Every structure is written in C-alpha cells, then in structure tokens.
Structure 1
C-alpha cells in the first residue's frame, strides 16, 4: 500500500502520535508522515483506521493531507 509513496518520498515515515482502540477489531492511529520529496520535505498529518480479522489486517483506511505530499513531490 505504501509503494507509490516510497518511490516519490525519500526516507518516508509514518509515525503515530496516538493509537486508540475503536472496538475489538479496529484501531485508530493519529500521526504524521515525513520524508523528503523532490521539491521539499513532507510534513503531513494522517488518520489511519486498521481493521483486524483473525489476526490479519482486513481493511485499511487512510485520511491524509495530500496537498502537502503533492507540493513536496512537485505534482
């Protein structure tokens, strides 16, 4: 899922500031993306919602500041 980001952003990171349990199968992570794009640093907030079924991630949703990514990578 991070393939395209890894090709556009050097030293990409996704660091959670807070992780919360939503229910028995879902986890919410609030944090920041970082790294270096061709046109500047990436500094973008994110919200990740992970659904786990039988010990495996069955669904992943992301809300992120895509404008910051586009500026940093020049697109």
Structure 2
C-alpha cells in the first residue's frame, strides 16, 4: 500500500468517530493496541474486541467526550503512520483539558494492525481528579 494510502486509511479511522462499519473496514481484528502507562486504561490490548470492551468500555463512564484531533500525519515508507494531535476531553464533572498525543500506527495488508500511543497523561489525570 503506498504511503499516501496509509495516511488516508488512518485519517479515515480518525474521522469516522468509531463508526462500526469503518472500524470493520480499516482495523485488523488482531490489532495490538498499546496505550502509555499513566493514561486511563494504559496497557496493551490484543484484538479489536478487547480494545472496545477492555479499553474503551471502562473509559466511557468517566467522560462526556474524549475524541482525538489529529493535526499532522507522517509516514516512514515502512508501513507506519505517525500522527501528532490532541485529545480535548471533557470529564463527567465538567473538567476540560488539552492533551497532546503521538500515535504510531502500523499498517499490514491494507488494515491498521497496531497502535502505540504516547500522551500527556498527567494533564488528563488532573482533569479527571479535579
């Protein structure tokens, strides 16, 4: 898959806002989802079912909104897409924050097969605990 197609794939995932039909088309069922320690739900998840149930499931009750806003996309020509951006969460208590992130996506056979995420966990934890 050409580099620009990889960016298009990851951009489509981000812009879908987790639409199930887009997830089915863009994400490998055996995805490895690696979230930085200190971030709520930080850890490594194997497979989309685990990501949805074990990562997103426990997070949702804490937030009114937690979307990602990609700002820049880069590719390395080796099946990786790097995304710099921000989360703009709003907690159930009404606290808001601007949380910087970097995502490293791995593309395999035209699908997203891996994510390594690093984010400013401290800022997010402050919003959750204020």
TM-score by length of 1: 0.85
Out of 60, 66, 69, the residue aligned to residue 12 of structure 1 is 66
The answer to whether the 8 Å contact 1:17/1:30 transfers is yes
- Greater percentage in helix: 2
Out of 56, 67, 71, the residue aligned to residue 122 of structure 2 is 67
**Deviation at residue 52 of structure 1 after TM alignment:** 0.6
Q: Which runs of 4+ in 1 moved over 2 A?
A: 4-7
CA RMSD of aligned residues (A): 1.8
Gaps of 5+ in 2: 1-50
Gaps of 5+ in 1: none
TM-score by length of 2: 0.52
**Structure 2 residue aligned with 1:45:** 100
How many pairs were matched up?
Answer: 75
**Structure 2 residue aligned with 1:58:** 113
**SS at 1:41's partner residue?**
coil
